[in-house]
A and B are shown apart, each in its own frame.
Chain A
Amino acid sequence: MDEFVNTATTNRPMMAKAAYGLLFLVTLALQTGVVVSLPEPYRLFPLALVVGIIVLHERSVVVGAWWILASGFLLEIRGLGDGLMFAGLVAAVVATTLTLPVFAKRSFWALLGVGTAIAVAYIVGRLVWLMFWAIFSDRALNFGSLAQQGLMTILMTIIGVFVFGAYIRRFLGWSRGKFVSKGQSYDISFPH
Chain B
Amino acid sequence: MVKLRPKSVAIRRATLVSATFLGVILFFWLLLRIPTLARVYARVEAGLVRVGTNIGTGLIGFTRSEKSLLEQLEVCEATTRTLAREAVSVATLEQEITELRALLGYTTKAQATGLSTHVIARAVDNDVTRVLIDKGELDGVQTGSAVVIDDGVLFGMIESVRQTSSVVRLVTSPQSRIPAAVLGANRTIGLVEGRQGAVLIMDFIPQDAELGTGNLVVTSGLDGLVREGLIIGLVTEVVAVESAPFQHAFIELLYEPREWTSLLILPPPTGL
Contacts and interface: CB of A to CB of B under 8 A. Distances in A.
Contacts of A80: 121-125, 130, 132
A24 B24 CA distance: 9
Interface of A: 1, 4-6, 10, 17-18, 20-21, 24-25, 29-39, 42-44, 46, 60, 62-63, 66-67, 69-70, 73-75, 77-82, 84, 139-142, 145-146, 149-150, 153, 184-185, 187-190
Which of A79, A153, A188, A190 has most B Cβ within 10 Å?
A: A79
Given A79-B159, A190-B16, A29 B44 contact: yes
Interface stretch (B4-12, B78-86, B232-240): B4-12
3 smallest A-B Cβ distances: which pairs? A33-B48, A37-B52, A34-B52
B14 interface: yes
A80 B56 CA distance: 20
Given A62-B17, A73-B25, A37 B53 contact: yes
Nearest to A83: B125
11 contacts: A5-B9, A25-B24, A32-B132, A34-B51, A37-B55, A37-B258, A38-B56, A39-B59, A43-B56, A78-B121, A189-B13
A149 B123 CA distance: 14
Given A34-B51, A66-B17, A185 B126 contact: no
B197 A10 contact: no
A184 to B, nearest CB: 6
Contacts of A62: 13-14, 17-18
Contacts of A73: 25
B32 to A, nearest CB: 8
**Majority-rule SS of A interface residues:** helix
A188 B167 CA distance: 38
B175 interface: yes
B25 A74 contact: yes
Given A17-B17, A80-B122, A185 B55 contact: no
B269 to A, nearest CB: 25
Given A20-B20, A21-B24, A149 B130 contact: no
A149 B126 contact: yes
Contact of B132 (A6, A21, A46, A79): A79
A184 B14 contact: no
Contact of B123 (A4, A33, A36, A141): A36
B56 A37 contact: yes
A142 B17 contact: no
B183 interface: no
B128 interface: yes
Interface in B37-86: 44-45, 47-49, 51-53, 55-56, 59-60
B52 A4 contact: no
Nearest to B195: A142
Nearest to A35: B52
B3 interface: yes
A81 B55 CA distance: 23
A29 B122 CA distance: 10
A25 B28 contact: yes
A18 B120 CA distance: 24
A187 B6 contact: no
Given A32-B45, A62-B18, A185 B56 contact: no
B196 interface: yes
A43 B125 CA distance: 10
Nearest to A143: B196
Nearest to B166: A79
A119 to B, nearest CB: 14
Given A139-B174, A142-B196, A84 B25 contact: no
Given A1-B6, A184-B2, A188-B10, A36 B45 contact: no
B56 A187 contact: no
